[in-house]
Amino acid sequence: MDGIGNRFSGLGRLAIGLAWAALLLGLWMWGRDTTEGTGGPAPMTGDVAAVGRPSAHPLPPAHAPLASARPKRVVIEAAGVRAPIVASGLDRDGAVKPPPFSRPGTVGWYRAGPEPGSPGAALLVGHLDTKSKPAVFHELSDLKRGERVRVARSDGTTAEFTVEDVEVVPEKHFDARRVYGSRSHDRAELRLITCGGKYDRSTRTYSANVVVSAYLTGTTGSPGHVSAGSRNAPH
């Protein structure tokens, strides 16, 4: 997989704070330099393709943001994801460090940003594939509006998110503020990101990113009650 998209050309470092700018640059740079992808394309039918089908039912109301707690595990039943989460930072080139290809089933959380369940848009990133097999977010583009994402947290709670939309965003139309910014200041939001579009074997890059946007709609568990059996929840 080509990490998270391509080098962040055209937009540069946005003037909205050095840390945020470094993140945005890094998310594009992450993919271009560490490609190991097999080239299985995610669907893209337009400049910004909406992949998730509209739901026949209205989405649930947003739940109030939760207290701060580190994410431990993510479960997305509809995409076959049951994965541990590791904290990720930026490397010396300003790129987000992805989980290693030796751990294709692991998801990275950008630790300088919000935690899943806290106010703002938390970022979870994962590989699409490796040279030999699909990786953790291979089925991410199959998610549909209204489907659920659950994140187990270090305080014993599980934050439950509802998918709002799924997009394939090509590099030439990548709007970093729209993709990574919060849609509402009083919500806890989640972005799940992997590669998408077409795979170029000559440059070893994908042409786009799959971006799933979700928001907090519920929670289970009690803060401070983390038993041995619940550390890996949800199952």
Is 191 buried (19+), middle (13-18) or exposed (0-12) by CB count in 10 A? buried
Q: How many other β-carbons are positioned within 10 Å of the β-carbon of residue 5?
A: 29
User: Residue ranges of the domains in the chain?
Assistant: 18-220
CA 82/CA 85 separation, integer angstroms: 10
Which of 26-40, 42-56, 137-151, 186-200 reaches the highest mean pLDDT? 137-151
Per-residue model confidence as pLDDT tens digits over 83-118: 999 999 876 765 567 788 899 999 999 999 999 999
Q: Please tell me the pTM assigned to this model.
A: 0.76
Q: Please give the distance of CA 63 from its chain centroid, rounded to a whole number.
A: 20
- Which pLDDT value is given to residue 156? 97
Which of 17-26, 187-196, 198-207 has the least mean pLDDT?
Answer: 17-26
- Which pLDDT value is given to residue 113? 92
Architecture of domain 18-220 in CATH? Answer: Beta Barrel (2.40)
- 189: β partners: 121, 215
Mean pLDDT score across all residues of the chain: 78
- Which pLDDT value is given to residue 91? 66
Query: What separation in angstroms does the CA of 157 have from each of 87, 108, 116, 123, 150?
Result: 18, 19, 11, 18, 10
pLDDT at 44 over 50: no
CA 46/CA 74 separation, integer angstroms: 30
- Which pLDDT value is given to residue 98? 74
